[in-house]
């Protein structure tokens, strides 16, 4: 089946004080309509850059140095701000984290939800307000709360407003950029449940950016693990949790507290998150990897098919170059 979104060998560099930093390196994946994928990694892993490139929201100092993004088979002009304008929010939209900063404090929420309908869909004020009311209902906010200002709402309600705004132009892909990070555990669960319900009700594809694998387990079909700008493992949630192939994925899973098994303490991954200025040679994870071998410091492992998923690790490579299972 032709994918809804096709990201092919995408590399993005940032220019910082005369230095060029590679934020993502030859990232490739396909997203099917209605699929929910988690993009997981520590800060500096490239997950946000990948998502912003897809949404056409790269910062002005970013440069697409290789690759392309195709939406329904057509190449998106992701490095051309003006050409990207008609695509933005209408095909792929973003629910940002920290709704208090993203919402305008001096405008009522109904107006903020109606605005993209007028700007992007050419609706009159009356039509846009009616659509905004409909969107409030969709995200579980009583319509009489539409006249509230952002500071009059709870954090969870504000995040629902952000979701309503993201849905305003009927996109087929919604990206959640750490959408529950600032929320308490109960509200976080409610927002994830809402995203799951909206996904099936509106047949949305979902890309969930997070550093927290347990969030992905809640509402994704598939997970891609990123490290130092590259995808290092890609597979179904069930497979990755049952049998992680990459040592980094394994450590991420082990770092999730599990009170049911008496494991209440978080075991952090040793070492520091990847440094893009001084990227380690070979496999970028090798300074932190408990399974590192000689080859790991010199050769970058390619991301190869492994079973139904993909993995980039020398542990799973035979001398013939085929992928083999090694239990490290
Ligand atoms: Fe560890 Fe080597 Fe695999 Fe990298 S390639 S994750 S260093 S075993």
Q: pLDDT tens digits for 237-274? A: 999 999 999 999 999 998 877 655 555 556 678 888 87
CB distance 171 to 93 below 8 Å: yes
* Domain region containing 216: 1-80+174-270
Does residue 150 sit in the same domain as residue 213?
Answer: no
Residues with beta carbon inside 6 Å of ligand 1? Answer: 246-247, 283, 285-286, 289, 291-293, 296, 301, 313-315
Question: Whose C-alpha lies nearest to ligand 1, atom 3?
Answer: 313
CA of 69 to the centre of ligand 1 (A): 29
CA of 19 to the centre of ligand 1 (A): 28
Of 222, 240, 270, the position where a domain reaches its end is 270
Does residue 107 sit in the same domain as residue 162?
Answer: yes
Q: pLDDT by residue (tens digit) across 33-45?
A: 999 999 999 888 9
Does residue 193 sit in the same domain as residue 70?
Answer: yes
CATH number for the domain spanning 207: value is 3.40.50.300
CA distance 111 to 164: 12
CB distance 198 to 164 below 8 Å: no
Is pLDDT of 104 > 50? yes
CA distance 223 to 204: 17
CA nearest neighbour of 283 among 318, 307, 319, 248:
248
Does residue 70 sit in the same domain as residue 218?
Answer: yes
pTM: 0.91
Is residue 297 situated within a structural domain?
no
Does residue 184 sit in the same domain as residue 53?
Answer: yes
Please determine, for the modelled complex, whether the ipTM score is greater than 0.95: yes
Of 170, 190, 221, the position where a domain reaches its end is 170
Does residue 137 sit in the same domain as residue 180?
Answer: no
CA of 278 to the centre of ligand 1 (A): 18
**What's the domain count of the chain?**
2
Is residue 21 situated within a structural domain?
yes
Is residue 303 situated within a structural domain?
no
CB distance 47 to 226 below 8 Å: yes
The phi, psi pair for 134, rounded to 5°, reads: -60, -40
For residue 171, the number of C-alpha atoms closer than 13 Å in the C-beta half-sphere is: 29
Q: Is residue 237 helix, strand or coil?
A: helix
Q: How confident is the model at residue 227 (pLDDT cuts 50, 70, 90)?
A: very high
CB distance 133 to 143 below 8 Å: yes
CA of 269 to the centre of ligand 1 (A): 14
Of 170, 201, 222, the position where a domain reaches its end is 170
């Amino acid at each position: 089946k032709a994918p809804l979104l096709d990201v092919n060998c995408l590399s993005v560099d940032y220019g910082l004080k005369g230095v060029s930093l590679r934020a993502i390196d030859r990232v490739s994946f396909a997203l099917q309509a209605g699929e929910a994928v988690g993009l997981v990694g520590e800060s500096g892993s490239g997950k946000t850059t990948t998502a912003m490139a897809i949404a056409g929201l790269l910062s002005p100092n970013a440069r697409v140095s290789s690759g392309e993004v195709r939406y329904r088979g057509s190449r998106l002009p992701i490095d051309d701000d003006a050409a990207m304008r008609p695509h933005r929010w209408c095909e792929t939209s973003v629910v940002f984290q920290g709704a208090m900063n993203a919402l305008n404090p001096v405008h009522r929420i109904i107006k903020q939800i109606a605005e993209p309908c007028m700007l992007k869909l050419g609706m009159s004020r009356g039509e846009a307000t009616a659509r905004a009311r409909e969107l409030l209902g969709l995200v579980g906010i009583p319509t009489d709360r539409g006249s509230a200002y952002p500071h009059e709402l709870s954090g969870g309600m504000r995040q629902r407003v952000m979701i309503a705004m993201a849905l305003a132009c009927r996109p087929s892909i919604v990206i959640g950029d750490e959408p529950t990070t600032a929320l308490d555990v109960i509200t976080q669960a409610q927002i994830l449940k809402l995203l799951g319900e909206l996904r099936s009700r509106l047949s949305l594809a979902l890309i969930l950016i997070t550093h927290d694998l347990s969030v992905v387990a809640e509402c994704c079909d598939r997970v891609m693990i990123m490290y130092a700008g590259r995808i290092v493992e890609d597979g179904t949630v069930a497979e990755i949790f049952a049998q992680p192939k990459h040592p980094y994925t394994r450590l991420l899973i082990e770092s999730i507290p599990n009170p049911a098994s008496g494991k209440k303490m978080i075991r952090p991954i040793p070492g520091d998150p990847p440094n893009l200025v001084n990227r380690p040679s070979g496999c970028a994870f090798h300074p932190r990897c408990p399974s590192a071998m000689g080859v790991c410091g010199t050769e970058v492992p390619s991301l190869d098919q492994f079973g139904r998923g993909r993995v980039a690790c020398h542990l799973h490579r035979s001398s013939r170059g085929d992928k083999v299972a090694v239990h490290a």
